[in-house]
Structure 1
Amino acid sequence: MSLAITGKTAIITGAANGIGLAIARHFLDRGAQVMCADIDEAKLMAEFGDSAKADGPARVFAGDLCEKLSIANLLSATIDAFERIDILVNAARSFTPCDPLEPDADVLESMLRHNMKAGLRLSQLTAKRMIALAEKDGRTTGEVGCIVNVSTLAAQRSQPELLAYSIACAAQDQATRGLALALAPHRIRVNGVAFASMMSASLHAALRENADWREAITAGTPLGRIAPPTELAETVQYLASSGAGFVTGQIVTVDGGRGIADTVRVPVY
């Protein structure tokens, strides 16, 4: 099985912080060319400025990917820099808790816009560019490209204050499966990774204010720890590699067993 991504060109969103940053660094360390995209230009430059030179393996793109023009500019910048797009990783995420009994739809609309709609539109337009580039190059066999969506266990589990976020994550997972079917004839694979008990940027911030949560998370995770985001990056690499060449439409869970645990610990009769 080959997990190599050397020489591949990847767009990674949410690359300025947390999980997206870990994935971008991981891909660069393994020889990929990476367009690091995020809305936070200062953080992007702080993380990747030394590599984002004319002949370097990294480039940075700052923009709001909820906007169609930003997506078009991102794709053009990637092709101008690297002449191709092989991999898209939608790792940008937004998290806002809400009152589940509040009928105001603003939080739900925001969660859907940032966690599902933006990534779906970027995936659709990236896939079109991948197909066009393959046709231009005369590539009639082999994989044209792949897309990996970063999701969370919230899509499968419910907490009242996470209602809007959970709906958005579940919608994203369904978009992954739907796009996988639509793009299979074009030789583009689409998969997702769902994480939990992972040291994301939002969890890191939450633990600063709620230190006791660390013990609760660890106790509710069968493998007994909170994982660094590099462990998720390795799964993303697998899904982006030829080793996963016959894998599409799947949501791979990376959660230390948290999703299968029965925290009540009372036998089910």
Structure 2
Amino acid sequence: MSLSISGKTAIVTGAAHGIGLAVARHFLDRGAQVMFADIDEDKLASELGDSAKSEGPARYFAGDLCQKLTVKNLLSATVDAFDRIDILVNTARGFAPCDPLDPSTAVLDDMLSKNMKSSLRISQMTAKRMIKQAEDEGREEGEIGSIVNVSSLASNITQPGLMAYSIACAAQDQSIRSLAVALAPHRIRVNGVSFGSVMSRSLQDALKENEDWREAICAGTPLGRIAPPSELAETVQYLASSGASFVTGQIIKIDGGRSLLDRVQVPAF
């Protein structure tokens, strides 16, 4: 079983911070060419340097990936830089609490846009590019691409104050399964990772406000700790590699066992 992604070209969204940055750097360290994509251009530039705009195996693209034109430009920039796209990893997300009795849909609309709609659109547009790429190369057999989308345990855990976020994560899970079936005939695999008790950017920010949550999270996680984003990156690599060539439509939980007995009454970041 080969887990190698060396020589592959990957787009990683949400790559300026937290999990996305860890995944993008992990892929780069293992020989992939990586387009780091995020709305935070200053952070991308500080992480990669200005030269990454035009040279090297690590490039960056800044823009609002909730916009269709921005996604189109991202794909064009990746092909211009590396000639192809083999892997897409969507880690770009948004998090916000809500009042479950508030009839306004503003928070729900925002959570759906940032956590499901944007990754769905990017996945669809990237898949079309992968299909055309294979046709142009005359590749009639074998896998032509892999997509990995990030979700959260919030999709399965009922916390009323996170209703909008939870609904968006549940929608993300279903979009992963639906895309997997739709793209299987085109030889593109689609999988997901659902995380909890991982030091995402949102969890890091939350712990600054309430450090007591750290102890509660560790106590409610059978493995007894909060994992660094690098541990999630290893699983993403597996799903993106040929080692997972017969795996599609699966959402792997990376949570230290937390979903087995969730006693943590804090957000499932």
Pick the TM interval, shorter chain: over 0.9
- Tell me how far 1:52 sits from its aligned partner: 1.2
1:168 shift after superposition = 0.2
Residue 158 of structure 1 and its aligned partner are, at CA, apart by: 1.1
User: Aligned with 1:140: secondary structure?
Assistant: coil
User: Percent same amino acid at aligned positions?
Assistant: 73
The answer to whether the Cα contact below 8 Å between 2:53 and 2:61 also exists between their aligned partners in 1 is no
Give 2:267's aligned residue.
Answer: none
What are the equivalent positions in structure 2 for 1:3-14 lying under 5 Å apart? 3-14=3-14
Residue 70 (1) aligns with residue 67 (2): no
What is the CA–CA distance in structure 2 between the aligned matches of 1:192 and 1:209, rounded to whole Å? 29
- Aligned partner letter, 2:94: S
CA distance in 2, matches of 1:89, 1:119: 9
Letter in 2 for 1:160: P
State the match for 1:115 in structure 2: 115
1:221 aligns with: 221
2:206 is the alignment partner of 1:183: no
Q: Is residue 10–residue 85 contact of structure 2 (8 Å, CA) maintained in 1?
A: yes
CA deviation after TM superposition for structure 1 residue 263, in Å:
3.4
Contact 1:51-1:58 within 8 A present in 2 as well: no
Residues 51 and 10 of structure 1: is their aligned pair in 2 closer, same or farther, counting only changes over 3 Å? farther
The 1:53/1:71 distance shift into structure 2, 3 A limit, reads closer
Partner residue of 1:267?
none
In the alignment, structure 1 segments of 5+ residues that lack a partner are 265-269
Which amino acid letter does the alignment assign opposite residue 241 of structure 2? S
Query: SS in structure 1 opposite 2:11?
Result: strand
The residue number in structure 1 matching 2:103 is 103
Is 1:151–1:192's contact at 8 Å kept on the other side of the alignment? yes
TM-score, normalised to structure 1, is 0.96
Do the aligned partners of 2:96 and 2:165 also contact (CA within 8 Å) in 1?
A: yes
Specify the code of the residue in structure 1 equivalent to 2:99. Answer: D
1:24 aligns with 24
Output one character per residue of 1:59-99: Cα deviation in whole Å (capped at 9) or x when no partner.
11000011111010000000000000000001001001011
- 1:137 deviates by 0.5
List 4+ stretches of structure 1 deviating above 3 A. Answer: none
> Quick check: 1:28–1:57 contact (8 Å CA) kept in 2?
yes
TM-score of the aligned structures, taking structure 2 as reference length: 0.96
Counterpart position of 2:124: 124
Offset at 1:48?
1.4
Aligned residues: 264
CA pair 262-94 structure 1, distance change in 2 beyond 3 A: closer
Aligned counterparts of 1:184 and 1:202: Cα–Cα separation in 2:
33
Partner SS, residue 52 of structure 2: coil
